[in-house]
Amino acid sequence: QKEVEQDPGPLSVPEGAIVSLNCTYSNSAFQYFMWYRQYSRKGPELLMYTYSSGNKEDGRFTAQVDKSSKYISLFIRDSQPSDSATYLCAMDSGGSNYKLTFGKGTLLTVNP
C-alpha cells in the first residue's frame, strides 16, 4: 500500500462548480497536511496548511482533515478557470525527518 494515494484525474468541471479533491494515507504518524497548487510548467505553490484534524478555510478554499479515517480533502467553491491546475496533497509527521510525503497530484480543469 502506498503511503499517500491521490486520484490523478483528470477532473473537468464547469465554472462555478464546487470541487472536491481528496487524498488517503496509511501512516498514522502524519500530523501536518498541505495542499499545493501547480500550474503547468511552474513550481508548486503552497495553498493550504493544516495541523491535526479539523477544517481550515481561506477564501474559496477549505481544507479538511479526518485523522480517524486517514483522509484529507480540499474543497473549492465557485470554481474559476484560473483554478485549472494540478493539486498535490502533502503530509509530514513532524520531528526532524525534514521530508514531506506527496500524493501524485490531481489535474483539474475548470471550463468557462
Partner 1 sequence: SQTIHQWPATLVQPVGSPLSLECTVEGTSNPNLYWYRQAAGRGLQLLFYSVGIGQISSEVPQNLSASRPQDRQFILSSKKLLLSDSGFYLCAWSGDGRETQYFGPGTRLLVL
User: In whole angstroms, how close is the CB of 46 to partner 1 at the nearest point?
Assistant: 6
What distances in angstroms separate CA 37 from CA 1, 5, 71, 79, 105, one per listed residue?
25, 17, 19, 14, 9
Binding site for partner 1 (CB under 8 A): 8, 31-32, 34, 36, 41-46, 49, 51, 88, 90, 92, 94, 98-100, 102-105
Distance CA 30, CA 62 (A): 19
Q: Of the candidates 60, 71, 17, which has an alpha carbon nearest to the alpha carbon of residue 37?
A: 60
User: In whole angstroms, how close is the CB of 102 to partner 1 at the nearest point?
Assistant: 5
Pick the closer one to partner 1 by CB: 32 or 75: 32
User: In whole angstroms, how close is the CB of 18 to partner 1 at the nearest point?
Assistant: 26
Distance CA 100, CA 25 (A): 13
Pick the closer one to partner 1 by CB: 83 or 92: 92
Q: How many CA atoms lie within 13 A of 42 on its CB side?
A: 12
User: In whole angstroms, how close is the CB of 14 to partner 1 at the nearest point?
Assistant: 26
Pick the closer one to partner 1 by CB: 13 or 100: 100
